[in-house]
Structure 1
């Protein structure tokens, strides 16, 4: 499907908001990342690479397989050879835009952080002929009757602009900043539908057809059962460097003390009333949320994926800068993560 077809279902008001959000995010990313992450070409997830760089003195923890023996012999001090990331790599994004991402109680919506993460990845990888593509999951498209006006308005908007996009859309990988801008615009304009994307199937799409080694980035809230996506992530990490970007809202970690709170499941429309004044309930909720997030982190760690968590109530740009800087520092110490 073309990118124009992907963006067509959005109402004009949502389309305008998507353009405004994307423009603001791109400006923030360009200013921040260009100012703090300038330097040699090393990639988003710097691995050992194959292009030879400069030599430096050996430090404890360096990989002895990168010893530069000619320099070591001349200087009588052990040296290791630096390497830089391969150029003309292919980066693929698996972007989860399930209904649960259309939520936020702080400075940003979760879907805004999804677009922000995709923008940062594109900015950091589209250089030197690198290509970037994406597969976008937009929910199952199955909606349920609810008594709320919110869902009635959503169905009315969908009826006014017929939904012509499939549950998963593939945007081919192309080189160049102009093509990356078009990809980001298509993601920002994607219409979120009721239902949950099959995250495991979405990630599996990055394995088909088989590609040469590159970077795979999975952007989601990972609220689907861990068993449904853990194996595809492990399979993906066998061939590619995998980055998992987890998007979190603070209300998913703890409940505020605001009395009776009506909650609507954005994926099914089910309504629940919760008495948040009960401290025991808030404690159990926080503990359950903590176990859930620990399970997500453990599954990603065991799969060999780098893990970046972005929150809607914190400085997500600073989190990205710290993450990339940590990855690059690890590389100079002789490790890939």
Structure 2
């Protein structure tokens, strides 16, 4: 795997953007219901016409003919959507053994969210947390502003060894500072900073979900799930700098490691579901555009089913 320079990464993003828009465009259209009546595509009700207040172009002539008096169609307004993406910029994201590093996949996720929420008036902001240069890019409308945002993410300096992420604090801060209801996306590998660390980000994530639609995107690499049998291997924890020599030829050790990783990921999935957030797992060696498209399609069908019930 080759680490992309800025120019190469921007070219790759342009290709990804075409793929994203071709495969995802329209999947979310009409999938978000507003909280008030007004101009929009979602029909709410039919009511009597009010002179000088209603637009005659919204007249429902069939109901008018049956009722014997003018009626208009009232629709549900499509509100402006403010989206915030919390991106894990800790040292553990600078890892990848397949098509890209996890940090590159995180930027690709931001590009996908940007494409999915690209509607007039919608805005997207990003918060980088846990890295060498924590920063907040305020939400701005427009596709050009989105491309500037992606370039800033691509140009962000690589994280020095020892820089970790306190995800619970980052989520709590996002909840406290960005109060306007909207969409919140958390992009992280969700790895524990220490062995046996509790998932203390669950409560802040639940608070976040009480006000916003929340999506947790877990980015993974295949080499994190299992140890290869390559003899004596030196492993370095990027967030603590600690080095460990591992005899990977020990079959029982490899099995224990794989079991521990599987248990952690299962516990993470249960914790995210219990918080009420949606959960999407993406891999550095997978078809992430296809995975996002399938997730959005399923989410839309589920939302429609819930409305029907």
Instruction: Determine if the TM-score, normalized by the shorter chain, exceeds 0.5.
Output: yes
Q: How does 1:106-125 map onto structure 2 within 5 Å?
A: 106-125=98-117
For residue 334 of structure 1, give the secondary structure of its aligned residue in structure 2.
helix
* Residue 175 (str. 1) matches residue 120 (str. 2): no
Aligned equivalents of 1:270, 1:103: Cα separation in 2? 16
Pick aligned residue for 2:273 from 301, 305, 310: 301
Aligned equivalents of 2:28, 2:300: Cα separation in 1? 11
Shift of 1:226: 4.4
Shift of 1:84: 7.8
Instruction: State the Cα deviation string for residues 199-231 of structure 1 (Å, max 9, x = none).
Output: 112112222335221000000011134433111
Shift of 1:36: 2.3
Shift of 1:48: 4.0
Report what 1:314 is aligned to: 286
For residue 20 of structure 1, give the secondary structure of its aligned residue in structure 2.
helix
* Contact 1:92/1:173 (<8 A) preserved: yes
Pick aligned residue for 2:250 from 264, 278, 283: 278
Pick aligned residue for 1:263 from 219, 232, 235: 235
Aligned equivalents of 1:84, 1:205: Cα separation in 2? 32
Q: How does 1:1-337 map onto structure 2 within 5 Å?
A: 17-28=5-16, 30-39=17-26, 42=29, 46-50=31-35, 51=40, 53=42, 86-139=78-131, 165=133, 168-191=134-157, 192-194=159-161, 195-224=163-192, 225-334=197-306
Aligned equivalents of 1:49, 1:113: Cα separation in 2? 31
Q: Residues 230 and 41 from structure 1, CA distance in 2 versus in 1: closer, same or farther, beyond 3 angstroms?
A: closer
Aligned residue pairs: how many? 270
Report what 2:57 is aligned to: none
For residue 18 of structure 2, give the secondary structure of its aligned residue in structure 1.
helix
Shift of 1:85: 8.4
* Contact 1:259/1:275 (<8 A) preserved: yes
Segments of structure 1 that go 5 or more residues without pairing to the other structure are: 1-13, 56-69, 75-82, 142-164
Report what 2:51 is aligned to: none
Aligned equivalents of 1:33, 1:287: Cα separation in 2? 35
Aligned equivalents of 1:138, 1:105: Cα separation in 2? 22
Question: Higher RCO, 1 or 2 (CA under 8 Å, sep at least 6)?
Answer: 1
Aligned equivalents of 1:247, 1:84: Cα separation in 2? 36
Select the structure of larger CA radius of gyration: 2
* Contact 1:48/1:331 (<8 A) preserved: no
For residue 228 of structure 1, give the secondary structure of its aligned residue in structure 2.
coil
Runs of 4+ with >4 A deviation: none
| Coordinate RMSD, CA, aligned | 2.6
